[in-house]
Structure 1
């Protein structure tokens, strides 16, 4: 497997993206997530923080919490809120925060390259947090939060990604915190191949955030030998010069 691969994402239909968008699971307490998701039945918090749909006394790591996440995901699929792209794609993702902008690439990153330390770590992980992410992946049969990676900026790659984002985005919205999120789907086979080749030529990628998510993906892959879907983890890669 190459360092990165395109994949067919499950993502909100365009007119539902604003209903689904939510902060990462690990920046909110359960109480804060309940407040944010109130009156928003399609908020992704119902999948990433599913304890909000259970009694407040529920242990966030109880079996029924992971089961509720799975049920909520299935409901969003059945209602057409989330749909899967027809074939493997890359996704250009841009965040604009005030005067700062950074443009990256959403990929399926190689677990084998994580295991061999080509995707490089800089933190130790806690077994209990790994266990939580493993159970989330196994319950949903999906990965819900991207690992944040960085690559050493290369002008050719930076220009390639910027050029892929020149047209109208497939998704373009501003979240409650004022951050603008834009997404372009890269379907062109030649460009997909060029992106794959460019990243596979890199010596390494570097984990900026998501050590528990990537470690959990590695554990799931080890438990599913031969499962191509488990051989990669969801990641978004930014050039290091753009990151804040």
Structure 2
């Protein structure tokens, strides 16, 4: 049984939302960031990183308290306004190639602890600690945890019907994405949708494992039992058929002392190899890999004798590459921290991977086939953890559209 709750969101006013909303701070180049902060006084970036030019000169706690104060300033100036009635929200994102529609709700941290909300990624302690402290001192969250639920015709038809109405807001971004937002505050509708989710066996985290764990730890430290907001996660629930999963391709800086011919010879014992010369090779199914080495593309197909798997983790392409190539041949043990490996999401063209390697910093690249939602669920159900950087998942939610106060 998955529990969802309405909440009183803090949101930009309709006339300001396009100016307030922003991408994640880390996604901006230095020039873009400076332009936003210099010329757009309404950007939520001012809240996320107040006095950003001297961030390193003050303690984390002081920075986070500055975030809280700037957030209060935005509320005092009526840039952000709190809804008067608890609601759930429908949010639709239309990109150049796809549209995503989901529900913004509170989900139960008790469900997270009890494995009703399932996980497939490991977390890094220091990142969890930073996020926990950030939420503790800023007293809000504006980045929902992306979760999936099984496709449900009743929910789908209800969303189609409700989104025929005029949206509470509609705006375009500089990335040519259109955002729509509807508020649902009818208690009968909310109760109906809650009942449907109570009959759903589990929710699966697609993106936001660190934020989920940080919220759990924040609740454990809660010194105010009257504050019920900390019992819930700000979440964006989207049906399984509506998420987009990209692979993360691997770039390796050297061949671990091997010569090219020796390396290919060792690969040949595990893979059927075909030299594609200058023709880029994109895997079309599981257990196929592309490789770019010394100005040539190769296809690597896992030999049948290596296709006997005991767990869902063993059959995952990212794990296969690690177990057969990255660790035994290239000496990369720590996928998260080894400086010899970097990652590029499958959103980028293979030609970008080629160009990066041709520039000389990397020697070889591996191109993977993207994982599926069923693979993610199988891992989560078995309490197994994906290798780092296995998936890049969309949609990505913009900051400042909706704020959940803690």
* Structures share fold, TM-score greater than 0.5: yes
Does the CA contact (< 8 Å) of 1:91 and 1:106 recur in 2?
yes
Report the Cα offset of residue 152 of structure 1: 1.3
TM-score (norm 1): 0.92
Structure 1 Cα separation of the partners of residues 95 and 209 of structure 2: 24
Q: Tell me whether 189-198 or 55-64 shows the greater mean CA deviation.
A: 55-64
Question: What residue number does 1:149 align with?
Answer: 147
Report the Cα offset of residue 25 of structure 1: 3.8
Question: What residue number does 1:243 align with?
Answer: 243
Determine helix, strand or coil for the equivalent of 2:179: strand
| Bigger helix share | 1
Does the CA contact (< 8 Å) of 1:103 and 1:162 recur in 2?
no
Does the CA contact (< 8 Å) of 1:149 and 1:237 recur in 2?
yes
TM-score (norm 2): 0.57
Does the CA contact (< 8 Å) of 1:30 and 1:49 recur in 2?
no
Structure 1 Cα separation of the partners of residues 156 and 86 of structure 2: 21
Does 2:15 align with 1:15? yes
Question: What residue number does 1:90 align with?
Answer: 88
Aligned pair partner of 1:199 in 197, 200, 206:
197
Does 2:213 align with 1:229? no
Q: Map 1:55-134 onto structure 2 (within 5 A).
A: 55-56=53-54, 58=56, 62-134=60-132
Structure 2 Cα separation of the partners of residues 59 and 145 of structure 1: 26
Structure 2 Cα separation of the partners of residues 128 and 29 of structure 1: 25
> CA distance change for structure 1 residues 59 and 100 in 2, over 3 Å: closer, same or farther?
farther
Report the Cα offset of residue 13 of structure 1: 0.7
Structure 1, gaps ≥5 residues long: none
Aligned pair partner of 1:172 in 170, 173, 178:
170
Q: Tell me whether 56-65 or 160-169 shows the greater mean CA deviation.
A: 56-65
Larger radius of gyration: 2
Report the Cα offset of residue 35 of structure 1: 3.9
Does the CA contact (< 8 Å) of 2:12 and 2:20 recur in 1?
yes
Q: Tell me whether 23-32 or 35-44 shows the greater mean CA deviation.
A: 23-32
Residues 182-205 of structure 1: CA deviation (Å, up to 9, x unaligned): 000001111111111111211111
Residues 27-61 of structure 1: CA deviation (Å, up to 9, x unaligned): 346775344333112211122233xx243462686
Determine helix, strand or coil for the equivalent of 1:63: helix
> CA distance change for structure 1 residues 231 and 174 in 2, over 3 Å: closer, same or farther?
same
Residues 63-98 of structure 1: CA deviation (Å, up to 9, x unaligned): 332122111101000000001101110000001012
Structure 2 Cα separation of the partners of residues 154 and 206 of structure 1: 15
Structure 2 Cα separation of the partners of residues 109 and 25 of structure 1: 25
Structure 2, gaps ≥5 residues long: 245-406
State how many pairs are aligned.
242
Report the Cα offset of residue 62 of structure 1: 2.6
Structure 2 Cα separation of the partners of residues 79 and 163 of structure 1: 35
Structure 1 Cα separation of the partners of residues 102 and 58 of structure 2: 32
Does 2:38 align with 1:47? no
Structure 2 Cα separation of the partners of residues 72 and 143 of structure 1: 14
Does the CA contact (< 8 Å) of 2:3 and 2:108 recur in 1?
yes
